[in-house]
Structure 1
Amino acid sequence: MTLSPKALLTAAMICVVSSPSAFAADTYALDPAHTQTIFTINHLGFSTITGSIRDLRGTLILDSMKPEDSAIDVSMAANSVDTGFAARDKVLQGPMFFNIAQFPTMTFKSTHIKKTGPKTADIQGDFTLLGVTKPLVLKTTFNRMAQDKIGTNVFKVGFTATTVIKRSEFGMNAYVPYVGDIVHVTINFEGIKQ
């Protein structure tokens, strides 16, 4: 018996829809040119200092059909902390703060993802700073998934996330409470589909 082209197409569609592997998660590499980790911290009550971590690497495994099954793994080079003032950055990289000689890398690895809305989720994970690992939640908003037709024509996904870190919990106690203990963090993430 020979199937018509229409019947073959219908059969193929049924196979695709019924096959779990048809919706396998996609891998996205962090785009360092368009990913930022920005932090703000209070300075003696006079002002809020803003800085960033420039050297980031990581991978997002994104299951768009079931976002709860996604995962992210990111590492950040402590020597890339940049507040726009070289003398301060040198102090921040020293033993009182990031201690880059002993702890060159910070990491975040997701452990659980909970959808909180059509475009939002809480990404729970383990954050490691100064050799201390503690749970951290990223309040995350999905921005866009599409082909980058202006840039390199690659397929990309973008998110924005925020969190709060209490630095003394990781052993970074220098000048607390005069220099703020609470650090507000915003992450602008773009990933390139592999």
Structure 2
Amino acid sequence: MKTLPKVLLSLLAPLPVLAAPVTYNVDPVHSFPNFAIGHFGMSTIHGRFEEMNGRVVLDVAEKTGSVDIRIKAATVNTGDAKHEPGSFAARNYGPRSRDEHLRSADFFNVAEFPEITFKSTKLTFSGEALESVEGNLTMVGVTRPVKLRVTLFKCGPNPFSKKPMCGADLEGSIKRTDFGLKFGVPAISDEVKLSIGVEAYPE
């Protein structure tokens, strides 16, 4: 009978607050999908897309979440945006720049497929840290599964604004021929390495 008051007190004590999923909006100013591709087996060309947005949902306590990303294909940038008449590039490669070529039907065909999307199917955690993200990548109307390793994951206050935020670096690779992007293979590598930096803030 002596234990009954303790039992009653435990029942009356407030229940712990359960963690809930938090939805984050991707910060387009600090989030960019970068890529690297072998060129003639002699060097590596680096590039990125300048416009990416989306949402990330995380429930660290339950080890669940989702990632939904949209990339504007026409914003591809490899540092060769325009060939000025009489320039080295114009004399050797013609009037069309590499970025213009990448927007054409030979590659991303941005007129017909303006967006590249990624929708997650599985998030894997190690403790409270996000370890990998698996999902479906869609380019030029073709969807293929992709797994991205998370090499950095951290949530906390922005050191300047003090607003809560999360950030992550993700890495992976794809074969562009899996998406029908066959132009220039094998002189221009089939494998494309991906490196994506993401920062996001709660809605």
Same fold (TM over 0.5): yes
| Aligned counterparts of 2:13 and 2:152: Cα–Cα separation in 1 | 34
Query: SS state of the match for residue 29, structure 2?
Result: coil
Which of 23, 30, 41 is the aligned partner of 1:27? 23
Which of 42, 53, 56 is the aligned partner of 1:57? 53
Does the Cα contact within 8 Å between 1:147 and 1:156 map onto a contact in 2?
Answer: yes
Match in the other structure for 1:16: 16
Residue 137 of structure 1 pairs with residue 147 of structure 2: yes
| Aligned counterparts of 1:72 and 1:50: Cα–Cα separation in 2 | 25
Gaps of 5+ in 2: 1-8, 82-96
| Aligned counterparts of 2:186 and 2:47: Cα–Cα separation in 1 | 19
Query: SS state of the match for residue 178, structure 2?
Result: helix
Does the Cα contact within 8 Å between 1:94 and 1:100 map onto a contact in 2?
Answer: yes
| Aligned counterparts of 1:177 and 1:146: Cα–Cα separation in 2 | 44
Tell me the CA shift for residue 117 of structure 1.
6.6
Which of 155, 158, 175 is the aligned partner of 2:164? 155
Residue 166 of structure 1 pairs with residue 169 of structure 2: no
RMSD (Å), alpha carbons:
1.8
**Could you say which structure has the larger radius of gyration?**
2
Gaps of 5+ in 1: 1-6
Query: SS state of the match for residue 181, structure 1?
Result: strand
Q: CA 1:120 to 1:60, structure 2 compared with 1: closer, same or farther past 3 Å?
A: closer
Tell me the CA shift for residue 45 of structure 1.
1.1
Which TM-score applies when normalising by structure 1? 0.86
| Aligned counterparts of 2:145 and 2:77: Cα–Cα separation in 1 | 25
User: How many positions carry a matched residue from both structures?
Assistant: 179
Displacement over 2 Å in runs of 4+: 114-120
Q: Which has the larger share of helix?
A: 1
Quote the sequence identity (%): 34
Tell me the CA shift for residue 193 of structure 1.
1.4
Q: Which amino acid aligns with 1:73?
A: D
Which of 57, 66, 70 is the aligned partner of 2:65? 70
Tell me the CA shift for residue 63 of structure 1.
0.5
Tell me the CA shift for residue 103 of structure 1.
0.6
Match in the other structure for 2:132: 122
Query: SS state of the match for residue 79, structure 1?
Result: helix
| Aligned counterparts of 1:24 and 1:141: Cα–Cα separation in 2 | 25
Tell me the CA shift for residue 58 of structure 1.
0.5
Query: SS state of the match for residue 172, structure 1?
Result: coil
